[in-house]
Amino acid sequence: MKHEMIAKVIKHYGSQRALARAMCVTEGAVSHWVKAGAVPPGSAYRIEIAMRGRVKAVNLIASA
């Protein structure tokens, strides 16, 4: 499910590069999120705010 949510975010921004720019991270960081299937909590929260709640941070963060 997290992979699907990350894909939804990337689709919203149009590319991994655009998402990286919007979140002030490297393209490598976004690529890592895709491979890992999870986003770090701080970035996940910024995504939730930027997307006005359409994607919840909890759905992007790795399970404990």
pLDDT digits (tens, 9 = 90+) for 20-31: 999 999 999 999
In terms of average pLDDT, the best of 1-5, 25-29, 58-62 is 25-29
- Nearest residue to 40 via CA among 4, 1, 2: 2
Alpha carbon of residue 4 to chain centroid: 10
Instruction: Give the chain's mean pLDDT.
Output: 94
Domain boundaries defined on the chain: 2-59
Identify the helix (H) or strand (E) that includes residue 42.
helix 41-50
What is the per-residue pLDDT for 63? 78
Is 64's pLDDT higher than 70? no
Q: Does domain 2-59 have CATH number 1.10.260.40?
A: yes
Is 13's pLDDT higher than 70? yes
pTM of the model: 0.90
